[in-house]
Amino acid sequence: MSASFDTLLYETNQPGVATVTINRPEKLNALNDNVLNELAEVFKQINIDDTVRGCILTGTGDKAFVAGADIKELRELNEHRGRMASQKGQQIFQLIEDTRKPVIALVNGYALGGGAELAMACHLRVATENAVFGLPEVGLGLIPGYGGTQRLPRIVGRAKALELILTGKQLSAEQAQQIGLVNRVVSQDYGWEEVEKMMDAILKNGPLAVKQAMRAVYHSDHKSGFQIESELFGYLCGTDDAEEGLSAFLEKRKPNFKGI
């Protein structure tokens, strides 16, 4: 594939392995509409490109994988636009999850909100020691809206998922590994080596078997919960609490929620 993007870097350094790097370091790689559109485009192309057998997804710099959805854009959402934005993001993340070539997230820093949700839409996760995971949406008066309420319980179980979603607390890379949210933790210098080793270990196997194994493993998932997530995300976008939570972040102050 020959592709050029505004917010992504696309490379194929290892034969057969595409590397997609989200490249908005000045905003800690936050997912604005442009990034989401380009992620959709690149994964559509990866899906149809027979020369690509696997993909590594990461973020530019050593501070963030992705620090979430772009909070500036979230503040523009009302109930209807919130629901639509959630559905759009869910579809793009589903496209990533439905890729029948292994997608490994190299989580090299903050993976918060939509960033944690993006990592969860990948099939496997390697974290560097400085990675931080969290779903801080409730602190902004919202809930995860890119599939996080559905994928997190599937990955770590309902009790742990509820704890993380309801408290919004952050986990270190090691804590994330302890609950099964990441497959492996390595020092910052070895992130690439580890992720390439994992990819090699997969790609040396029968390509048809790898593809069908992925299909079989994901077959048990139910899809209706995603629709409920979007409805509720949209509802919250129309509330005073979301307006207050998002404004408070951008104005660098603590939110004063009223429950309306």
Footprint of ligand CO8 on residues 149-178 (CB under 6 A)? none
Collapse the DSSP code of 213 into the 3-class scheme (helix H, G, I; strand E, B; otherwise coil) and give the result: helix
**With binding defined as CB under 6 A, does residue 140 bind ligand CO8?**
yes
Which residue lies nearer to ligand CO8 by CB, 155 or 203?
A: 155
Asked if 28 interacts with ligand CO8 (CB under 6 A), we say: yes
Catalytic: which of 38, 76, 129, 137? 137
Q: Extract the runs of DSSP E, i.e. beta strands, from the chain.
A: 8-11, 17-22, 54-59, 64-66, 103-107, 110-112, 124-128, 132-134, 171-172, 184-186
Please report which helix (H) or strand (E) contains residue 259, including its range.
none
Nearest-approach distance from CB 136 to ligand CO8, in angstroms: 4
DSSP 31: B
With contacts defined by CB under 6 A, how many residues of the chain interact with ligand CO8? 24
Helix (H) or strand (E) holding 122: none
Span 97-126, contacts to ligand CO8 by CB under 6 A? 110, 112-114
243 catalytic per annotation: no
Q: Between 102 and 255, whose beta carbon lies closer to ligand CO8?
A: 255
Answer yes or no: 117 catalytic.
yes
Stretch that binds ligand CO8, among 24-32, 91-99, 155-163, 215-223 (CB under 6 A): 24-32
C-alpha span between 91 and 141 (Å, rounded): 23
Q: How far is the CB of 192 from ligand CO8 (least distance, A)?
A: 22
Is residue 60 part of the contact set for ligand CO8 (CB under 6 A)?
A: no
Tally of CB atoms within 10 A around 197: 13
Query: In the bound complex, what is the minimum distance in angstroms from residue 69's beta carbon to ligand CO8?
Result: 4
Among 10, 65, 93, 233, binds ligand CO8 (CB under 6 A): 233
Pick between residue 44 and residue 72 the one whose CB is nearest to ligand CO8: 72
Q: At what angle do helices 224-237 and 79-98 cross, to 10 degrees?
A: 150
Residues found in the chain: 260
Q: Count CB atoms within 10 A of the CB of residue 256.
A: 9
Determine if 137 is a binding residue for ligand CO8 (CB under 6 A): yes
Q: Identify residue 157 by its one-letter amino acid code.
A: G
SS3 of residue 82 by DSSP? helix
CA 103 to chain centre: 12
Which chain residues interact with ligand CO8 by CB under 6 A? 27-28, 30, 67-72, 74, 85-86, 89, 110, 112-114, 136-137, 140, 144-146, 233
